[in-house]
Structure 1
Amino acid sequence: MPDFNDPDAPVLDVLAALLGKGESSRLTSSLRNRLQMVHNIDAAAFTPAGPGTFEITASLDPEKTREALSQIFHEIFRLENEEIIEKELERAKVQVETEFVYSQETMEGEAEKLGIFETLSKDPHAEKLYLEKVREVTALDVQRVAGQIFRQENVSVVMIMPEDRLPEITNEELAVMIKEAELLAGGIEEYDAGALTCHIKRFSLSNGLTVLVKEVPGVPTVSLALVFPGGVRYESEKTNGLFNFLARAWTKGTRTRSAQDIAELIEGLGGSISGFSGQNTLGLQGRFLSQNLDKGLALFTEILLAPTFPSEEIKKLRPLILAELKRQDDYLPGVAVREFRRLLFSPHPYGMNPLGKASVIKAVSSENLLETYRNFVIPDRGVLSIVGDIRAEEIISSIKTKLGAWSAESEISLPAPPEPDPLIAPRILTLKREKQQAHIVLGFPGTTFSDPERYALETMNAVLSGQGGRLFIDLRDKEGLAYSVTSFLGLGLDYGSFAFYIACAPEKKDRAIKGLWQEIYRIIRGPVSDDEIERAKKWLIGTHETGLQTNRAQAMDMALNELYGLGYSFASEYVRKIDGVTAEQVLSAAKKIIDSEEYVLVRVGP
């Protein structure tokens, strides 16, 4: 980065303002206001006497780190490839000048300005020349400097997050993420929903494994997602946590390779392979550079077919999972949501903790994991999705060679989960915690992935949540009742939920609950406005399409949708369904799920 006296220093300040200063800046407009990936975001050029830095800082939920990073990279690379309109440039220059001028209103600000210019330029009155240079900055200047500094080799990412929620992003993954964003910014301005399902080939192997293949030329990466029915939905109180443990141990050893061998091979390929489990699924996912696909696919196949779940690796994983369970109780919003789900869904497995129970984790053995693997990782139950820079016919031939002979049968049928206890009266729980905030979740039974009314409920959720939603505007901005407030929709294969969350000062908790009920009654008493529903639908569609920009996201989305019975082409169907939602449908769906006598309320705090 240039220093303070470099001719490009004023250009850097304009670049920072264009990206991250003010509500209309690119990063704020995109990541916070439109996509709601971050709580706040800012950009700044640090130009001291020596080499400086260009910094983009954001606060966000850890779960959104990957998609936020991808979008940040996309926005900065857009600067090199798209025309910067004059109005936007002038607005950025005004931001720089006004921030500079306003700082001089106080004696402290004036003294600081004189000191900086004297120290760095040896002229305490050089600010006039600096402002003249700011006014002379052109769009071409901004694009030239952006091209010079926004390069892969210059990127450093620092994250401060709770240990149990820290996303694992390797240098190789970061490099691929940057390359994908750079190529996307160079050739695609908006994602074409119709393109989400083009060139997809579906076929089944003789063993019953469903395979989906999609060619995405241009970005030299390939992603694989293999999913099976599994996860919490197939656990009981005696086995809660088994699938989570299996997913973490899946890549820790095969018949011919140790965990260290596998890790070194994956890193040498610039890729990643990991197990995953959730509410309804168990699976394996991988990501590789196209040039390393053959080796990566061979390793992926070996991990899939010949895992050993070594006892020594189980011993290493056990304390890590137990530590996560302990840390869960320190994150009170998570505690409130976890207890809400328990009260709403039990004895259905959706009411259990996805991480598991400490007693189960302490008892898990290599034999337990192998038995679960053999009973659930069955080819005729699975869906394998491959998306990326590939030739479909070549990858199909390779998959048939590597997996065509795979034969496995389960000794058990997929168990049918028990139904939740009927909710015929309010269920209320108060947990005392000596903290400075009260956390409240108030919610109702929701719906499933396949229910046609899910689209109206998703639209209602978008009307209510986010910084432009009713809850934030009314309960935080106008009433000052909340530190944080939102709504959230949970979809499942069997059952779902719709809930409201608010964090507030302890002395405001009764008023906060009353405020939530007022918003609940408001949503069921009359249709939402045309402006609200259009904003909500645009946000849903924009978030959906942005979330499917990467090969990894598309591979997972296609596989899950196929497994859930929605079909691999559901991505484009979803856009059409959301676009067709009306205010009357939102009102009808709200009235069906909201009942003032059948709800769950959880309060956590002092």
Structure 2
Amino acid sequence: MKQVIAAILLIVSFSIQAFPKIKDDPSLKRIVLDNGLVVILKEKHDIPMVAMQIWVKAGSVTEGKYMGTGLSHYFEHMLGKRTTHRKTEQYYNDIRKMGGSDANAYTTYDRTVYLSTIRSEFIYDGIDALSDMVQNSIFDEEESQKEIDVILNEINMGEDSPDRYLWQQFAQMVYTTHPYKYPVIGYRHLFKSLTKKDMLEYYATMYSPNNMILVLVGDFKTSALEKHVRKAFKGFKRKKLPLIYIPKEPKQLSMRKVVKTFKINTTKVIMGYPTVDALSSDVAPLDVLALILGQGKTSRLYRRLRDREQLVQSVSASSWTPKDMGLFEIGFELDHKNLDKTSRIVLEEIERIKRKGVTRKELKRAKQKTRVGAVRQLQTLGGYARSLAYGEFIGNIHYDQYYLEKVRHVTAKDIRRVAKTYLTHHTLNMMILVPEKDHEKLVPAKALVKKAKGEIEKIVLKNGLTLLLKKDDSVPLVAIHASLKGGYRYENEGNQGIYNFLSDTLLKGTRTKSSRKIAELIENSGGTLYAASDSNLFTIRGSFLKENFPGGFKLLLDVLSNANFPKREISKVKKDILSAVKQRDDQIWSASRYHLRRIRYKGYSYAFNGIGTKDSISKISSRDLSKAYQQMMAPNNMVLAIFGDFNKRQVLRLIKRNSRFNKRKAKLPTVQNVPPLHNIVQETYYNKENQRQSIIKILFDGPNYYNKDKYPLMVLTHVFSGIGSRLFLDLRSKRTLAYATGGVYQGKEDIGLFLFYIGTEPAKKKEAIKGLFENITKVKEELITNRELEIAKNSAIGRI
């Protein structure tokens, strides 16, 4: 058995998108106090009132070792309860005395906000009260328990609310890795596990002036108010902020669909697609698209689904763009019997926009309504304060002006482009909540599995091609997935990266079609087609609407037979790959993965990184790619799966006509199987300067992908990974030794491995490693509980 430990230390930094310069506003001032508190002052003398907001950069995604507890939301309830200068509930009573009838607070994924609007004559008292609340709050045991009970009731209410339940189930389906999948309010069992020590530690860490934004908008004189703000927050000491690891959501490769039951009378549905973050230039066109598609009585979906077809009780569309990956959502409520037809119509309307675009009238109306909505919030002092605070929060206090300008320049081409880019078949997520009374209309899970197995037809053609066909006409889509033996297992030192290069250039030209023509055929059909490569496999995936499938399948067969790798296109792709090679070690987790691979598989092709090296990529030519293509791309080396609403005879006829592909025989390079290593312990360190993180990875050899012992290890993955898992509860929640933990089985054709990982601070590295081995020893010596086993098995099945 071999154990490899790789410790990688790296400072993580990022840059914010540059915004165009906005004309100076003499009534607006931004200052940063010595303690790091950002203060934004905006004079508006329309009415004798002042809006006060303080934004704390603490939300559910920043909870670190307390992820999933809802700790940020807890402090939304607790701040202002009592301070060193104010009795219980006195803060909000004082604010009300100042005319603050709207005093409130809210928590989101990435911030907690405290807000009120008071009469301007009390502004100095208001600032003193706000300063007292954030600096001097006392967390009385009795008051804390009251709020804990309130929050538990809120969790109950959320679980009883079909809309909240639907959203949370949808978020968990879309976000498989990113903490947006966790509810802001937290999970009951994790929230109840918090101790007073946990709460005070989080407050002391996150409620720091250098983690806050104070915004004041209204009837005041800036110079005098600035002096008072400096005085009120003078004693508020800057603190060291924790290093928060937020994993990036991996790219979605195929459609996801989940059906749940609930005590409701009508079926509720969310259809959604991953999109962009708040700083993307596509935010504005996505907002305009949402309005055209499903906002208001003139929107396409409302007119067709509600007015014309009368299939739904309600329908809407929206684009949500937070700090990280956002979503384009379409929601509707209807009788269960109308579900299939409605879903098809929604997809048809999306495809219609992709093919034909939108009218000038639609675009003008949508842009006008989008701009009016953005401007309308500026009519109130609170709305204006929110606009400035949000802009500061994401990088520029003038963000709303920048956004309005982007909306003004949105074109019909932009709408069509973002629809084609983001609203694709393979990235569709569909969460359906059906009434319990309709449960009998659904096929039980076990029956679904059996039925699915019976419906998949396996055909092996004379040329060696294995076909897996499954007819499904519930949605007018056809999905294609071709798998071939390939990948960096079949590479050598001189050509490493060639299969990844091949995947990036496969669709860049055939004997009869240019790269541009191929792209146009795919985009005009509203479909998708792309290639990818990993250690053992080369894959080609695609999806097309039923009516466009014959053309899409013909294009796939042309690519399989006649790809010609034009030198001009190869040169472009080569530049991109060399840039990726250069950046490979910039990311701490990918650097640690590559280093570990080099150590364990030294002397074998699994040690390669997949994208190649500067030397190997520079030497690969169009002829080299064509040779690798000819050796791999053959029917006797392919399994082709086609699922959806297609004609079997048509598929077989099109394959039969493709003589060039049918005659080819695979001639892959000979590979060496990696031998297992016994009784060897090896420790290796890979260091980066400016140490702020340590990534620890411990690897054990395991069974290959075909060995039945992989199944217990797949379950063990979920014993060690995720919120509530052993490593999470012990190393992260209890001992605070890590911000990221997990264990995962990875099976390859000839060998497997089980990998443990920890992300921690350098000072805690040794203790974290010790704790990890203690957990490994414990699971070897003691049986896991039945409850733990059931949770892990269900989680493993859900992942499949």
Q: Assess same fold via TM > 0.5.
A: yes
2:479·2:644 contact (CA, 8 Å) conserved in 1? yes
1:538 Cα deviation after fit: 0.9
Instruction: Identify the residue that residue 249 of structure 2 maps to in structure 1.
Output: 62
Superposed, which structure 2 residues align to 1:33-182 within 5 Å? 37-41=177-181, 61-63=248-250, 65=252, 70=256, 83-84=263-264, 148-151=314-317, 154-155=318-319, 160=324, 171=420, 174-176=423-425, 181=430
Equivalent in 695, 717, 720 of residue 461 of structure 1: 717
3-state SS, counterpart of residue 343 of structure 1? helix
Equivalent in 507, 511, 524 of residue 268 of structure 1: 524
Superposed, which structure 2 residues align to 1:21-420 within 5 Å? 25-28=165-168, 32=172, 37-41=177-181, 61-63=248-250, 65=252, 70=256, 83-84=263-264, 148-151=314-317, 154-155=318-319, 160=324, 171=420, 174-176=423-425, 181=430, 192-402=448-658, 406-410=662-666, 412=667, 414-420=669-675
Seen in structure 2, the aligned counterparts of structure 1 residues 419 and 543 have a Cα distance that, compared at 3 Å, is: closer
2:464·2:636 contact (CA, 8 Å) conserved in 1? yes
1:338 Cα deviation after fit: 1.9
1:378-427 Cα distance to aligned partner (Å, 9 max, x none): 221211111111233443333333469721135x4541225358354222
Is residue 2:766 matched to residue 1:510?
yes
Is residue 2:749 matched to residue 1:489?
no
1:345·1:421 contact (CA, 8 Å) conserved in 2? no
Distance 2:480 2:172 in 1: 30
Seen in structure 2, the aligned counterparts of structure 1 residues 421 and 532 have a Cα distance that, compared at 3 Å, is: closer
3-state SS, counterpart of residue 759 of structure 2? strand
2:480·2:543 contact (CA, 8 Å) conserved in 1? yes
Equivalent residue letter for 1:225: H
3-state SS, counterpart of residue 482 of structure 1? coil
Distance 2:320 2:676 in 1: 50
Percent of residue pairs identical: 27
Seen in structure 2, the aligned counterparts of structure 1 residues 465 and 30 have a Cα distance that, compared at 3 Å, is: farther
Distance 2:547 2:761 in 1: 55
Seen in structure 2, the aligned counterparts of structure 1 residues 366 and 20 have a Cα distance that, compared at 3 Å, is: farther
3-state SS, counterpart of residue 224 of structure 1? strand
Equivalent residue letter for 2:521: L
1:436 Cα deviation after fit: 1.6
1:466·1:472 contact (CA, 8 Å) conserved in 2? yes
Instruction: Identify the residue that residue 47 of structure 1 maps to in structure 2.
Output: none
1:197 Cα deviation after fit: 2.0
Distance 1:21 1:377 in 2: 52
- Please give the TM-score of this superposition, normalised by the length of structure 1: 0.66
3-state SS, counterpart of residue 488 of structure 2? helix
1:194 Cα deviation after fit: 2.1
3-state SS, counterpart of residue 243 of structure 1? helix
Seen in structure 2, the aligned counterparts of structure 1 residues 158 and 312 have a Cα distance that, compared at 3 Å, is: farther
Instruction: Identify the residue that residue 126 of structure 1 maps to in structure 2.
Output: none
Seen in structure 2, the aligned counterparts of structure 1 residues 354 and 64 have a Cα distance that, compared at 3 Å, is: same
Equivalent residue letter for 1:272: T
Instruction: Identify the residue that residue 683 of structure 2 maps to in structure 1.
Output: 428
Task: Give the CA RMSD over aligned residues.
Answer: 3.6
Distance 1:223 1:65 in 2: 14
Seen in structure 2, the aligned counterparts of structure 1 residues 394 and 232 have a Cα distance that, compared at 3 Å, is: same
2:557·2:655 contact (CA, 8 Å) conserved in 1? no
Instruction: Identify the residue that residue 586 of structure 1 maps to in structure 2.
Output: none
Distance 2:795 2:535 in 1: 26
1:84 Cα deviation after fit: 3.3
Distance 1:256 1:443 in 2: 48
Distance 1:497 1:319 in 2: 34
1:308 Cα deviation after fit: 0.7
Distance 1:463 1:34 in 2: 22
Seen in structure 2, the aligned counterparts of structure 1 residues 345 and 175 have a Cα distance that, compared at 3 Å, is: closer
Seen in structure 2, the aligned counterparts of structure 1 residues 418 and 82 have a Cα distance that, compared at 3 Å, is: closer
Seen in structure 2, the aligned counterparts of structure 1 residues 459 and 169 have a Cα distance that, compared at 3 Å, is: farther
Distance 2:671 2:744 in 1: 27
Greater share of helix residues, 1 or 2? 1
Greater displacement, 351-360 / 401-410: 401-410
1:233·1:279 contact (CA, 8 Å) conserved in 2? yes
2:581·2:614 contact (CA, 8 Å) conserved in 1? yes
Which structure would you say has the larger Rg? 2
Seen in structure 2, the aligned counterparts of structure 1 residues 456 and 85 have a Cα distance that, compared at 3 Å, is: farther
Seen in structure 2, the aligned counterparts of structure 1 residues 259 and 190 have a Cα distance that, compared at 3 Å, is: farther
Q: Structure 1 stretches of 5 or more lacking a match? A: 1-13, 45-58, 87-143, 162-167, 545-606
1:521 Cα deviation after fit: 0.7
1:36 Cα deviation after fit: 5.0
Greater displacement, 251-260 / 169-178: 169-178
1:5-33 Cα distance to aligned partner (Å, 9 max, x none): xxxxxxxxx99x859999x9454467559
1:65 Cα deviation after fit: 4.5
Seen in structure 2, the aligned counterparts of structure 1 residues 526 and 29 have a Cα distance that, compared at 3 Å, is: farther
1:284·1:304 contact (CA, 8 Å) conserved in 2? no
Distance 2:173 2:552 in 1: 39
Distance 2:429 2:649 in 1: 24
3-state SS, counterpart of residue 494 of structure 1? coil
1:20·1:26 contact (CA, 8 Å) conserved in 2? no
1:150 Cα deviation after fit: 3.7
1:254 Cα deviation after fit: 0.7
3-state SS, counterpart of residue 61 of structure 1? coil
Seen in structure 2, the aligned counterparts of structure 1 residues 422 and 540 have a Cα distance that, compared at 3 Å, is: closer
Distance 1:155 1:178 in 2: 15
Greater share of strand residues, 1 or 2? 2
Equivalent residue letter for 1:148: S
Distance 1:174 1:37 in 2: 21
Distance 2:562 2:714 in 1: 41
Instruction: Identify the residue that residue 16 of structure 2 maps to in structure 1.
Output: none
1:542 Cα deviation after fit: 1.9
1:516-561 Cα distance to aligned partner (Å, 9 max, x none): 11111111111111111111111111221xxxxxxxxxxxxxxxxx
3-state SS, counterpart of residue 565 of structure 2? coil
